[in-house]
Amino acid sequence: MPAMPRLALLASPTDRAQEAEAALIASHEWVPLEDAEIVVVLGGDGFMLQTLHHMLDTGRVIPAYGLNLGTVGFLMNRHKATRPIAERVAKARGVAVAPLWMEAVTQTGERYSSWAINEVSLLRETRQTAKLEVSVNGKVRMPELSCDGVLVATPAGSTAYNLSANGPILPLGSAMLALTPISPFRPRRWRGAILPESCEILFRSLEAAKRPVSVVADQKEVRDISEVRVSAARDHRLTLLFDKGKSLDERIFAEQFLV
C-alpha cells in the first residue's frame, strides 16, 4: 500500500474556516507547507486563488484540495465530516489548470507582472469609455475597441467574470482562451473570440491620458496602463484535486445547462 502523501493545512481567517481548521488539526498529522506534497485549503474560491498565487510566486507548486467554507466554492469540494480527510484526499482526482502570465507597462514606463488563474481584465477608470488596440501574435486584429473593458479568461475562469460578461464557457482541456469585451460600444456587435492558449495577446491603451485604463490579474490591480501583454503559462500548470464525480470539468459542463 503506497504511503500517504504529506499534507499541509491552510485556512482563511473567516470564523467558519477557523472552526473547521480547529476540528481537523487533531484528525491528521500535518506538516508545514514547505514540506508538504499536497495542501488542504479551507475557505472560499478567493482564498484558494490566494494560495495558488502564493505557490506560483514562491516557485513551489503542489496539488491543492479545497474544502468550501466560503460562498460559491467553484474551485472547492463540499465540506463534510463523514470521511477522514486523508481518505478523501487519497481518492481525489486531479485537474490541471494553466494560469495566465500578465505583463503591464504604465503610462510612466513602470513595469508590473503577475499570474492570473481566472482572468486578466482591462477596465476603464473614469466615466469615459476605454479605447484599446487588440493584437494577437503580433498582428493587430482590432485597431480600435471602444468599451468598458475587455478580459482574457482561462477555462477554469470562464464561468466567473467572463460568463457574467456574456463570454463563452470553455471546457477544461480545450487549450483555449476566451477574449471577451465588457459592454462594447464600437464595434457594437463584436462578442469576442476564442483563441488557442498558445496565443499571445497585446492590448494598447489609446488616448491613455484622457481615457485611463487599469488592469486586474485575478486580485492584483495596476492603474494607468499603457499596454498589457497576456499569455498562457503552459509550463506552470497547477493541479486542483476534486472528489470523484465532482470534478471541475463536470461543474463547467453543468454550468452550460443552467437557466
Is 156 part of any known ligand binding site? yes
Is 163 part of any known ligand binding site? yes
The domain segmentation of the chain, as residue ranges, is 7-98+237-255, 100-232
Q: pLDDT, tens digit, for every residue of 246-257?
A: 667 777 777 777
User: pTM (2 decimals)?
Assistant: 0.87
Q: What is the pLDDT of residue 1?
A: 47
Q: What is the pLDDT of residue 235?
A: 92
Is 65 part of any known ligand binding site? no
Q: Which residues of the chain have pLDDT under 70?
A: 1-2, 81, 246-247, 258-259
Count CA atoms within 13 Å of residue 123 on its CB side: 14
Catalytically annotated residue among 15, 35, 45, 235: 45
Is 164 part of any known ligand binding site? yes
**What is the CATH code of the structural domain delimited by 7-98+237-255?**
3.40.50.10330
Q: What is the pLDDT of residue 31?
A: 96
Q: pLDDT, tens digit, for every residue of 3-15?
A: 789 999 999 999 9
Q: What is the pLDDT of residue 171?
A: 87
Active site residue 35: no
CATH classification of 100-232, choosing from 3.90.1200.10, 2.40.110.10, 2.60.200.30, 3.10.20.30?
A: 2.60.200.30
Is 45 part of any known ligand binding site? yes
